[in-house]
Structure 1
Amino acid sequence: MTTRITTPFNAQSTAAEVLDGIDLTGRRAIVTGGASGIGVETARALAAAGAEVTLAVRDLGAGERTAGDIIATTGNKQILVAPLDLADQASVAAFAAAWDGPLHILVNNAGVMASPEMRTPEGWELQFATNHLGHFALATRLHPALASAGGARVVSVSSSAHLRSPVVFDDIHFKNREYEPWSAYGQSKTANVLFAVEATKRWAGDGITVNSLMPGGIRTNLQRYVSDEDLERMRTQMGATAFTWKTTEQGAATSVLVATSPLLDGIGGRYFEDCEEAELNEPGSRRGVAAYALDPEAAARLWQVTTDTLAA
């Protein structure tokens, strides 16, 4: 029986508080989606602790503006910007090929939520292609850099929306079932958790650990496809008493904890929320982690399906 990880932090803790006293000098980090939402604050906190941080972004202009802001607020000039479109496998390959030297922290933070039905040129459903396939390809391509770092960590940003759907292996890309934005999003977020389970199993021998997390409810550009009415309905479903918006600084806290905390040394394949390891989800609750998202057989199957998909 594994011991559940608890920390001195909670839902109100900020990324800066989690990193207080941690020195990341000499460490190199990548944050995907580092120019918006919690990505900015994740990158800022890592930079404030002394890390070299690369913002991997689709919009280079936004990335440059964010880098300038982080340099100004932290005094750390080692803030880099590089183009990355996770829905474009050629872009992922180019980003990874351009990376040189060790990589200590990879934060798979970027994502698309509840979008209308869209597909990549390969015919892949966009949310699954971006949130899972793109990040899987990025992490596996950067595996040599992570392995060379010694004790590297990969952060897989998931969501409580994973409770909406397991990975539907029979029809991942909605070829034969009606497209539903939240089911598609939920499936992709379950994939983020399963990735952490299998990657830790495969890569622990290289000193690489991978954990997933739910950052909390934060109003950011991630919800650009979600109306205020949708959000209010979700809030009602969850019970308004159980749901409060976090600031972006609070939303980045669990990502930063998973990326850096000494409490997680050698720990992988787990799911965190509000700065501690989550318990199993209870039916009817929107908290915790679904058993299907931690299922080692599903994790192994997803890894094989993903490998086959990317190789096709």
Structure 2
Amino acid sequence: MPLPADARLPEEEHVHVLVNNAAVMRCPHWTTEDGFEMQFGVNHLGHFLLTNLLLDKLKASAPSRVINVSSLAHVAGHVDFVDLNWEKRPYDPRAAYCQSKLAVVLFTRELSRRLRGTGVTVNALHPGVARTELGRHTGMHSSAFSSFTLGPVFWLLVKSPELAAQPSTYLAVATELEGVSGKYFDGFKEKAPAPEAEDEEVARKLWAESARLVGLESGASCAEARPARK
């Protein structure tokens, strides 16, 4: 897994806001360059590593905020620690997507716990359904699909990319959210996440496994962080 923050760390004096927004959804059974199931690798592990690489800058820039873009789909997710990378069972792109988005909320919870007292807050959110290429593997971007399968009413609820970005901006700058951390938001409103997303033991276990997978050992410097080859 590439380390995109490495080259920028010396250049940025302060990092006050980090929005982890990259995502793929329901793609075929692809893997990243380092062999991770694509949705888990992009939606969770990439954000996990990038955030950890930037933690020193975020702490030095406090007050600062991390916003992790998850999805309402996390409620249907389950973290399968026996087969995180879908190597032992038939691949289900929907279940893999839900697992990756649940991982985002669990990561948010554990990171918030670790950042107490540092002046850095972290929250997760579901931004709503946006009219982007994220749905290209499901056919949601197809006009024929939307007309005959989803119907016109569905598309009245779909946001433009600009509107879908507003909840992330709100979490990044709202004064009333100062000090709020470890929460899940549905749009602009705080909401209780799925029960598994509030399981502290699962969150800690996922953190440890994620750190192992990306080669980010406890106490390792940014330069020492390297992905564990499978």
Once the two structures are superposed, residues 29-87 of structure 1 have per-residue CA deviations (whole angstroms, 9 ceiling, x without a partner) of xxxxxxxxxxxxxxxxxxxxxxxxxxxxxxxxxxxxxxxxxxxxxxxxxxxxxxxxxxx
Residues 217 and 251 in structure 1, CA contact (< 8 A), matched pair in contact too: yes
**Aligned residue for 1:118?**
30
Identity rate, percent: 37
Deviation at residue 260 of structure 1 after TM alignment: 1.1
Deviation at residue 171 of structure 1 after TM alignment: 0.8
**How do 1:145-156 residues align onto structure 2 when only pairs under 5 Å count?**
145-156=57-68
SS of alignment partner, residue 124 of structure 1 = coil
Determine which of 103, 106, 117 is the counterpart of 1:194: 106
SS of alignment partner, residue 123 of structure 2 = strand
Deviation at residue 232 of structure 1 after TM alignment: 7.8
1:182 aligns with 2:94: yes
How far, CA to CA, are the matches of 1:120 and 1:192 in structure 2? Answer: 18
1:269 aligns with 2:182: yes
RMSD: 2.3
How far, CA to CA, are the matches of 1:231 and 1:96 in structure 2? Answer: 41
Residues 114 and 185 in structure 1, CA contact (< 8 A), matched pair in contact too: yes
Determine which of 202, 205, 211 is the counterpart of 2:117: 205
SS of alignment partner, residue 205 of structure 1 = coil
1:133 aligns with 2:45: yes
**Aligned residue for 1:308?**
212
Aligned residues: 212
How far, CA to CA, are the matches of 1:182 and 1:234 in structure 2? Answer: 18
Gaps of 5+ in 2: 216-227
**Aligned residue for 2:194?**
290
Once the two structures are superposed, residues 157-214 of structure 1 have per-residue CA deviations (whole angstroms, 9 ceiling, x without a partner) of 0011112212111111001111111111111111111111011110122211110000
SS of alignment partner, residue 43 of structure 2 = helix
How far, CA to CA, are the matches of 1:207 and 1:263 in structure 2? Answer: 15
Residues 164 and 182 in structure 1, CA contact (< 8 A), matched pair in contact too: no
How far, CA to CA, are the matches of 1:200 and 1:233 in structure 2? Answer: 43
**How do 1:239-250 residues align onto structure 2 when only pairs under 5 Å count?**
244-250=157-163
Residues 20 and 47 in structure 2, CA contact (< 8 A), matched pair in contact too: yes
Deviation at residue 124 of structure 1 after TM alignment: 0.9
How far, CA to CA, are the matches of 2:149 and 2:94 in structure 1? Answer: 11
**How do 1:35-184 residues align onto structure 2 when only pairs under 5 Å count?**
89-184=1-96
SS of alignment partner, residue 137 of structure 2 = coil
Residues 96 and 142 in structure 1, CA contact (< 8 A), matched pair in contact too: no
TM-score under structure 1 length normalisation = 0.63
Deviation at residue 93 of structure 1 after TM alignment: 4.9
Residue identity matched to 1:201 = R
Residue identity matched to 2:109 = V
Deviation at residue 230 of structure 1 after TM alignment: 7.2
TM-score under structure 2 length normalisation = 0.84
Residues 157 and 192 in structure 1, CA contact (< 8 A), matched pair in contact too: yes
How far, CA to CA, are the matches of 1:99 and 1:203 in structure 2? Answer: 24
**Aligned residue for 1:13?**
none
Residues 3 and 50 in structure 2, CA contact (< 8 A), matched pair in contact too: no
Once the two structures are superposed, residues 8-46 of structure 1 have per-residue CA deviations (whole angstroms, 9 ceiling, x without a partner) of xxxxxxxxxxxxxxxxxxxxxxxxxxxxxxxxxxxxxxx
SS of alignment partner, residue 309 of structure 1 = helix
Once the two structures are superposed, residues 96-139 of structure 1 have per-residue CA deviations (whole angstroms, 9 ceiling, x without a partner) of 54543110000001111111110123321011111111111000
Deviation at residue 95 of structure 1 after TM alignment: 4.2
Residue identity matched to 1:299 = A
How far, CA to CA, are the matches of 1:305 and 1:250 in structure 2? Answer: 35
Residue identity matched to 2:171 = V
**Aligned residue for 1:255?**
168
Residue identity matched to 2:202 = A
How far, CA to CA, are the matches of 1:166 and 1:233 in structure 2? Answer: 32
Gaps of 5+ in 1: 1-88, 281-288
